[in-house]
Amino acid sequence: MGRIKLTYGIERVNMNEQISQAVIRRLPRYYRYLGDLLSQGVERISSNELSVKMNSTASQIRQDLNNFGGFGQQGYGYNVKFLHEEIGKILGLDKVHNMIIVGAGNLAKAIVRYDKFERLGFPVIAMFDVDSKLFGTKINDIPIYSLDELEEFIKNNRVDIAALTLPKNNAVKTANKLVSLGIKSIWNFAHVDLQFDDEDVVVENVHLSDSLMQLSYNITRKCNDE
Amino acid sequence: MGRIKLTYGIERVNMNEQISQAVIRRLPRYYRYLGDLLSQGVERISSNELSVKMNSTASQIRQDLNNFGGFGQQGYGYNVKFLHEEIGKILGLDKVHNMIIVGAGNLAKAIVRYDKFERLGFPVIAMFDVDSKLFGTKINDIPIYSLDELEEFIKNNRVDIAALTLPKNNAVKTANKLVSLGIKSIWNFAHVDLQFDDEDVVVENVHLSDSLMQLSYNITRKCNDE
C-alpha cells in the first residue's frame, strides 16, 4: 500500500465535490467500527469481514472507500490503523475544533460531561446563558458566562463551533448573532431550521423530536402490518 | 376536499411499502411547519407558500404529500389544521407512546425535562439506572428505579419505547434484555449499532458523535474549498 497512492486519495476529497452526502454520512460509522477494531488489536481486515461486522456488503464498503482513492489492497485488505487515521483526516478529526455551547441547560450539561467529544477533538471551552444565577458557575470545569459576553469572548478566543441548545424561540436570533460575530459552524439542537444568507455557514441539526416521530412512524407501520 | 378521498389516502400508507425513507424523514418537518402555521392562525396554505417557508420546492411538497393521497385541492391549497392532523396520524402521534429511559444521566434528565416530548404523546413513565444512590429519587416527578426492577415494571406497565442513554459497553446487553422482555421500539443514544434477530424490533439511533463528525467534515471541506 504505497504512500503515493494514498496521498492521491486524500487530494481527491478536496477536488471531488460529487461524493454523495449518503457516503459522507456513512464515514463516521466506518470511523467508529475501525476504532473498535483498533482497540481490539486488529491490524488488518478484508472488506468481507468488515461488511459482516457492519451489517453491510463488501461491495458497498469498497465502493464507499473508493470515493477517497481506495485505501485497500487486494489479497491484503485494509490496514485498520491507517484507514482509521485517513478517514479521521477526511472528517477533519486531525484538527481541534473549539466549541462553545449557547444555552446551559440539561442538554449542554450532557454534552460537556460526555468526554468522548473532547477526545474526538471537540473541546467545549465555554457556555453561555441568560440566567444570571448561572454566571460564574462551572460545569465540568467549563465556565458559564452571560450571553452579553459572547461578543468579547469570540473576539478573544478561537471558536470553531457553536452548539445551540436553546428553546426554539430564542434560537434564530442567537444564531444570527453568532454568525454576525463570525461563527461559521453551528451544531443546532433547537427544534427549528436555521437559514443564513452567508453560504459559508455550516449547520448540522439534531432534531430529537423528529427522530422520535420517525420511531413512532415505524412503530405505527409495524402495528398496521400485523 | 372529501372525507372519502382522505380516508383512502390514509389506507394507502398501510398498504404501500414503497414510500421512500427520504419522504418519511421529511414528514416530521412538515408536521413542525404546519404546527407553527397553526399557532400563527394560518388556516390554509398553497404548496408555493409552504415551499418558500420550508426552503423547498412546491413540486417536492406536492410529490411528498401525494404519497399519502394528496390532501390538497387545486386553487385552494392545503387546509393547515387538517393536514397537520393527518400527518400527525401517519406519524402515529394520535396515540400515546409510553417511554422508559434506561440510564438516568444528563441526557436522560434533558429528555425528561423537555416537556415537548410529552406534548407530542411520548410521556416518560420511569427511568432505570445501576447507581443505587439514584434509586427512589425522582427527576421532574419521574421515578428512578434499579435496573433489576426492569422486568417487573415492564410486566405491570405498558411500555412502548425504551430510550437507551447508556455508555456503549452496557448498551448492547441492556438492549437485548429489553427485547427479551418484549420491548419492540428502542430510541438509541448509545454510540453503537444495535442489531436484533427479532425483525419486529424498531431502532432509531441518535449518534451525537456522528453528527459532530458530519459537521466537522463540512467545516473541513469549506476550508479546503477556499
pLDDT exceeds 70 at position A153: yes
Q: Quick check: A4 pLDDT over 90?
A: no
Q: Does A55 touch chain B (CB under 8 A)?
A: yes
| Cβ–Cβ pairs < 8 A, chains A and B | 177
What would the grid cell of residue B72 be?
Answer: 390538497
pLDDT of residue A7 exceeding 80, the answer is no
Interface touch B220/A90, C-beta < 8 Å: yes
Q: Rounded to the nearest 10 degrees, how much is the dihedral formed by the CA atoms of B218, B219, B221, B222?
A: 110
| B122 neighbors B100 (Cβ within 8 angstroms) | no
Percent of chain A with pLDDT over 90: 66
Of A58, A39, A41, residue with least CA distance to A50: A58
Contact at 8 Å (CB) between B184 and B200?
yes
C-alpha to C-alpha distance for B182 and B122, rounded to whole angstroms: 18
CB contact A23 to B (< 8 Å): no
Pairing of strands A142-146, A138-139: antiparallel
- How far apart (Å, rounded) are the C-alpha atoms in residues B80 and B71? 10
Cross-chain Cβ contact A91/B202 below 8 Å: no
pTM summary value:
0.86
pLDDT at B3: 34
Contact assignment for A32 to B97 by CB distance below 8 Å: no
Cell of residue B197, nine digits: 434477530
| B158 has a chain A CB within 8 A of its CB | no
Give me the count of residues in chain A: 226
Sheet holding A142-146, edge to edge: A138-139, A142-146, A124-129, A99-102, A161-164, A185-188, A202-205
CB atoms A113 and B122 under 8 Å: no
Beta-carbon contacts of residue A79 (< 8 Å; ≥ 6 apart): A1, A43, A44, A71
Mean pLDDT of the residues in chain A: 87
Residue A225, C-beta contacts closer than 8 angstroms, at least 6 positions apart = B14
CA angle (B92 as vertex; B27, B63 as ends), nearest 5: 30
Please name the helix (run of DSSP H) or strand (run of DSSP E) that holds residue A112, with its range, or none.
helix A106-113
What pLDDT was estimated at residue B139? 94
Q: Where are the beta strands (DSSP E) in B87-216?
A: 99-102, 124-129, 138-139, 142-146, 161-164, 185-188, 202-205
Going along B55-103, which residue ranges are E strands? 78-79, 99-102
User: Would you call A184 an interface residue with chain B, using a CB distance cutoff of 8 Å?
Assistant: yes
Q: Which H/E stretch holds residue B33? A: helix B21-39
**Which residues 124-143 of chain B have a CB within 8 Å of chain A?**
none
Residues in CB range of B127: below 8 A, 6 or more apart:
B100, B101, B102, B104, B108, B112, B139, B142, B143, B144, B145
Non-local CB neighbours of A52 within 8 Å, separated by 6+ positions: none
Query: Considering CB atoms only, which of A92, A122, A217 is closest to B90?
Result: A217
- Residue A129 pairs in a beta bridge with A146
Give the total residue count for chain B.
Answer: 226
In this complex, do B219 and A187 lie within 8 Å of one another by their Cβ atoms? no
CB within 8 Å: A14 and B224: yes
Beta strand extents in B24-98 (DSSP E only): 44-45, 78-79
Is B96 an interface residue toward A (CB < 8 Å)? no
Q: Where are the beta strands (DSSP E) in chain A?
A: 44-45, 78-79, 99-102, 124-129, 138-139, 142-146, 161-164, 185-188, 202-205
pLDDT for the residue A172: 94
- Chain segment A170-207, per-residue pLDDT in tens: 899 999 999 999 999 999 999 898 988 888 999 999 99
DSSP bridge partners of A99:
A124, A161
In the prediction, which pLDDT does B72 show? 66
Kindly state the cell numbers that stand for A43. 491490524
pLDDT at site B198: 84
| B167 near A CB under 8 A | no
Distance between CA B198 and CA B186 in Å, rounded? Answer: 13
B191 touches chain A (CB under 8 A): yes
Instruction: Give the per-residue pLDDT at A18.
Output: 60
8 Å CB contact of A213 and B114: no
Residue with cell 425504551: B162
Measured between CB atoms, which of B113, B217, B222 is closest to A27? B217
Dist. CA B195–CA B190, nearest whole Å:
13
pLDDT tens digits along A67-112: 766 566 677 788 899 889 989 999 999 999 999 999 999 899 999 9
Q: What is the pLDDT of residues A33-73, one digit of tens each?
A: 999 999 999 999 999 999 999 989 999 998 888 776 656 66
Write out the DSSP string of A57-90: -HHHHHHHHHTTT---BTTTBEEHHHHHHHHHHH
pLDDT of residue B167: 86
SS3 state of residue B38: helix
Q: Say if B78 is an interface residue toward chain A (CB within 8 Å).
A: no
Q: Which residue has the cell 383512502?
A: B8
Partners of B93 on chain A (C-beta within 8 Å) are 213, 216
Please give the Cα distance from B89 to B21 (Å, whole number).
Answer: 17
The whole-number pLDDT of residue A11 equals 37
pLDDT of residue A65: 83
| Prediction ipTM score | 0.86
pLDDT of residue A145: 98
B209 touches chain A (CB under 8 A): yes
What whole-number percentage of chain A has pLDDT above 70?
A: 87
3-state secondary structure of B220: helix
Q: Are the CB atoms for B137 and B109 separated by under 8 Å? A: no
CA distance B108 to A64: 35
In this prediction, the residues of chain B whose per-residue pLDDT falls under 70 are 1-18, 68-73, 223-226
